[in-house]
A and B are shown apart, each in its own frame.
Chain A
Amino acid sequence: MKPTALVIGGGLHGASAATQLARSGFRVTVVEKNYAGRHASGVNAGGVRRLGRHPAEIPLAVAALARWQRLETLIGDDGGFHPCGQIKVAENDEDMARLVSRAAEVRELGFDHEIILSREELRRRVPAVAPHCVGALACDGDGAANPYRTLTAWRRQSQREGAIWREGVQVTRVDRVPGGGWRLSTDHPDLPGLDADWLINCAGGWAGGLCGALDECVAMQPQALMLTITERVTPFLGPVIGSASRALSFKQMDNGSVMIGGGIAGCIDTGGEHADVRLAGLAQNVQTALGLFPFMRDVRVVRTWAGIEGVTGDGIPVLGLSWRHPRLIHSFGYSAHGFQLSAITGEIVRDLALEREPALPIAPFDIRRFDSSSAAARASHTH
């Protein structure tokens, strides 16, 4: 009989895991309390970025990009991916020094995707950037895609592989079944209980709560990250722009609108389902953007929003097996940069469920890093 897996969370990481598990012979059900992509995965900025990644994430990001480049063959749609490049701009010499040492650090790790741009080269690639900018760090081949379209393509692919999606169903309780396996209770009258051999926690901003119920220690908070969209502007920008020392992500979309973000936090209402923007943070974010592109001053904002994302204490995700419970896999806490990684995380979850060593290093994402009582156990595991 086929092994069964329940995925909690119909975001990108749930969809990616569901796709790979179903393809490898699991009977998969994805349970989503709202609708697929309702939260971070459907409303994010769409940045596909290796640039500036935490060293631990670089191998995954590099592997993920290779998937993005052939996304259409993998899941039937390219998700609107454009490899327009990503550039982090230096506004002064101090910024530049920081970028130069970053590029060296990445090279030392054995990667060559981050390159330094001179002032002239930056101006050539981004003629509209403010004159005070002195140079940049760039990553060719990075780019941006359409989040909801990408999520829809992963969901469809998982369904083609046989996964079942239950939207509008909230998991309210998780129990271990004596003798192995899991039983989930839901708020849906037709689905009082769901059983499976494997449980996959892809609950995004709500994953911390789930961990609490499972007695797992983790430092993770849901955060509302804000974005601002402008009216359409004549095309002036190819790559996605960031800043060396300030929180910013700035890009022009196909239709001419400009999207401004940078992981600035808004607020979440007490029900935890509704994210609100905060004027002060938005204003700061926009001021940063205008510092780099002052000519945008009179362009109108048509929309702002905030999406709920799980942000961990150390800013990198939790991806790996539970050490408290057998047959429980975590994949959450992508901390504002999980869109790009979703192309690879499903394969890692699959490897773990097949009880084989994943092809990429995931030790830094082990959940035990948050559990002081098991620090010793971790030390013995990694050696």
Chain B
Amino acid sequence: MKTIPLAIIGAGPAGIAAALTAARHGLKPVVFDEQPAPGGQIYRALESTPLRDPELLGQDYWHGRSLIEALRRESVDYRPGHMVWQLTRDGEIGVLAGDTAALIRAERIVLATGAQERPFPVPGWTLPGVMGAGAAQVLLKTSGVVAQAPMVLAGSGPLLYLVAVQYLRAGAKVAAILETTSKENRRLALAHIGGAIRGWRYLKKGAELLRELKRAGVRHERHVVALRAEGDETLTGVGWRTADRPDDWQHCEATTLLLHHGVVPNVQMTRALGGAHDWSEQQLCWRPRRDAFGRSDIENFFIAGDGGGIGGARAAQLQGELAALAALESLGHIDGPTLAREAAPARRKLDAELVVRPFLDALYRPGDSWRRPDDDVVVCRCEEISAGEIRRVAKLGCAGPNQMKSFTRCGMGPCQGRLCGLTVSEILAAENDQSLEQTGYYRLRPPFKPITLGQLASAAGGAPEAPARNETETAS
């Protein structure tokens, strides 16, 4: 197996910044990313998007251009279309490119795999036509195509407004925005207003987006307390109730419903590696443990960007620099004083970047009833397990998600628990009156994303068969 000094997984802002930092210090890293082009979630398809008008996707998007150009220019072994589907603690990386699976070993690994959207289980969320707002945004960036039929966006968070505005500018018909942020949240967020004022740029941007939606005459419903996707085979409409009219279901026709309750770290890899994770009550998610430089508790592994806790694209970029510096230092490529000197400006900027987070997290915190839905709502989409079933099994004495899996197959489908993991842990914790830490999360196993048997077998290559074992030794 080939061994390289430094591998970076992910070519979003964090991964690119890490790669550039290593290259600048004369170490050529290998960057694996499953996407065909660099940019990660925020700068997705930046080099190829048909939406070339800078006004359409906005300034924050085009900020990524300089990063991506540098990646193309510098001495970085960037490998697009390379999906990492397995990792071991001793640095073995299983990579799939096209139909070929291969193995490579790295002495240091920076995980920069980003975030995913928080699961948002509501009645009917499995209907065709319902999708995550972030996933829809990816479609918009890559294809530039918008459907003419009416679309509704529901949930909360800055990305919700952003996606609405991006669709609007691209010519979509946005019928309504249903905002789930509660009055209570607005009050609680005020406690963090100090940080917010220092991070005023964010607030200003949010306000501008809202104004733009208003100008376009988009219906804006606030304090939504219940939501359902309606339709038999596919989505035909959306129903909701608000805090002001708690007994009336209101309706609107729609063929697309985009749901969004913020993003949470993608913990597939850190979980599979058995790293320590802490529950963040502020961000309502698991965060892999990392120090100020992104060093994880797994030897030789570093974590950069939203995969370690949500800080946004600019923070991700700074964390990428820091993680690369720490990795270079642990390789002996730079010394301690150099690390300290080079890291200081990035750390200062990072602190300034993160100052607005407590305010945003408090304001856009999804309420309990959204995170722990009613009994009839499907939680595990792959195995069709409802919230009620999870509560029933909890009453049988099931204390954690792994036992839940053994009881019900919940979380064992192709999505590997990505779309139900948080919901299952939160429901179990509430039912058993336990903390999230006590309840835990799924033990995750490779492949991180599905791979075919043929692709997997290709990793065996022409290697000779393992010697036949005595037949009595063979498990059945």
A249 touches B476 (CB 8 A): yes
A188 to B446 Cα, complex, angstroms: 33
The yes or no answer to B447 lying at the interface (CB within 8 A) is yes
A44 to B406 Cα, complex, angstroms: 11
A269 touches B471 (CB 8 A): no
A279 touches B466 (CB 8 A): no
Residue in B closest to A253 when the chains form the complex, CB atoms: B409
B465 touches A284 (CB 8 A): yes
Chain B 75-109 interface mask (CB, 8 Å, partner A; 1/0): 00000000000101100101000000101000000
Chain A 224-268 interface mask (CB, 8 Å, partner B; 1/0): 010011110000000010101111110000010000111110010
Known A274-B274, A302-B412: A244·B471 in contact at CB below 8 Å: yes
A283 touches B460 (CB 8 A): yes
B416 touches A302 (CB 8 A): yes
Q: Is the interface of A mostly helix, strand, loop or mixed?
A: mixed
Contacts of B454 in A (CB 8 A): 290, 297-298
A249 touches B475 (CB 8 A): yes
The yes or no answer to B66 lying at the interface (CB within 8 A) is no
Which single member of A43, A45, A244, A305 contacts B476 (CB below 8 Å)? A45
Chain A 29-71 interface mask (CB, 8 Å, partner B; 1/0): 0000001010000111101110111100100000000000000
A284 touches B463 (CB 8 A): yes
A280 touches B471 (CB 8 A): no
B476 touches A247 (CB 8 A): no
The yes or no answer to A286 lying at the interface (CB within 8 A) is yes
The yes or no answer to A299 lying at the interface (CB within 8 A) is yes
For the complex formed, measure the closest distance between the CB of A31 and the CB atoms of chain B, giving whole angstroms: 18
Q: Which of B422-476 contact A (CB under 8 A)?
A: 445-447, 450-454, 456-461, 463, 465-466, 468-476
Known A255-B409, A277-B446: A88·B457 in contact at CB below 8 Å: no
The yes or no answer to A124 lying at the interface (CB within 8 A) is no
Contacts of B474 in A (CB 8 A): 52, 242, 247-249, 262-263, 336
B475 touches A279 (CB 8 A): no
A37 touches B406 (CB 8 A): yes
B453 touches A303 (CB 8 A): no
B414 touches A300 (CB 8 A): yes
Contacts of A230 in B (CB 8 A): 453
The yes or no answer to A276 lying at the interface (CB within 8 A) is yes
Known A290-B457, A302-B414, A336-B475: A280·B469 in contact at CB below 8 Å: no
A300 to B83 Cα, complex, angstroms: 15
Contacts of A316 in B (CB 8 A): 472
Residue in A closest to B273 when the chains form the complex, CB atoms: A276
Known A37-B406, A269-B274, A303-B416: A283·B475 in contact at CB below 8 Å: no
Contacts of B465 in A (CB 8 A): 246, 284, 288
B476 touches A148 (CB 8 A): no
Which single member of B406, B407, B460 contacts A286 (CB below 8 Å)? B460
A283 touches B450 (CB 8 A): no
Contacts of B447 in A (CB 8 A): 301-304
For the complex formed, measure the closest distance between the CB of A335 and the CB atoms of chain B, giving whole angstroms: 7
Contacts of A264 in B (CB 8 A): 466
The yes or no answer to B399 lying at the interface (CB within 8 A) is yes
The yes or no answer to B413 lying at the interface (CB within 8 A) is yes
The yes or no answer to A296 lying at the interface (CB within 8 A) is yes
For the complex formed, measure the closest distance between the CB of A36 and the CB atoms of chain B, giving whole angstroms: 9
For the complex formed, measure the closest distance between the CB of B403 and the CB atoms of chain A, giving whole angstroms: 7
Give the size of the chain B interface in residues (CB under 8 angstroms): 44
For the complex formed, measure the closest distance between the CB of B67 and the CB atoms of chain A, giving whole angstroms: 32
Contacts of A280 in B (CB 8 A): 103, 459-460, 463
Contacts of A274 in B (CB 8 A): 274
Contacts of B403 in A (CB 8 A): 35
Chain A 267-296 interface mask (CB, 8 Å, partner B; 1/0): 101000010111111111011111000001
Contacts of B472 in A (CB 8 A): 52-54, 57, 315-316, 337
B450 touches A88 (CB 8 A): no
Chain B 210-235 interface mask (CB, 8 Å, partner A; 1/0): 00000000000000000000000000
Which single member of B88, B456, B469, B476 contacts A283 (CB below 8 Å)? B456
Known A247-B474, A263-B469, A304-B446: A283·B459 in contact at CB below 8 Å: yes
Residue in B closest to A51 when the chains form the complex, CB atoms: B476
The yes or no answer to A331 lying at the interface (CB within 8 A) is no
Which single member of B399, B413, B453 contacts A289 (CB below 8 Å)? B453
A367 to B49 Cα, complex, angstroms: 69
A337 touches B475 (CB 8 A): yes
Which single member of B453, B460, B471 contacts A301 (CB below 8 Å)? B453
Q: Which of B389-432 contact A (CB under 8 A)?
A: 399-400, 403, 406-407, 409, 412-414, 416
- List residues of A whose CB falls within 8 A of some B CB: 35, 37, 42-45, 47-49, 51-54, 57, 86, 88, 102, 142, 148, 152, 225, 228-231, 240, 242, 244-249, 255, 260-264, 267, 269, 274, 276-284, 286-290, 296-305, 315-316, 335-337, 340
Known: A52-B476, A53-B472. 10 other contacts (CB 8 A): A86-B476, A229-B412, A263-B469, A277-B445, A279-B103, A280-B463, A284-B466, A300-B451, A302-B414, A305-B445
Closest 7 CB pairs of A and B: A47-B476, A49-B476, A297-B454, A148-B406, A283-B460, A283-B459, A263-B475
Between-chain CB contacts (< 8 Å), 9 pairs: A35-B400, A52-B476, A231-B450, A247-B473, A260-B453, A262-B474, A279-B459, A298-B452, A304-B446
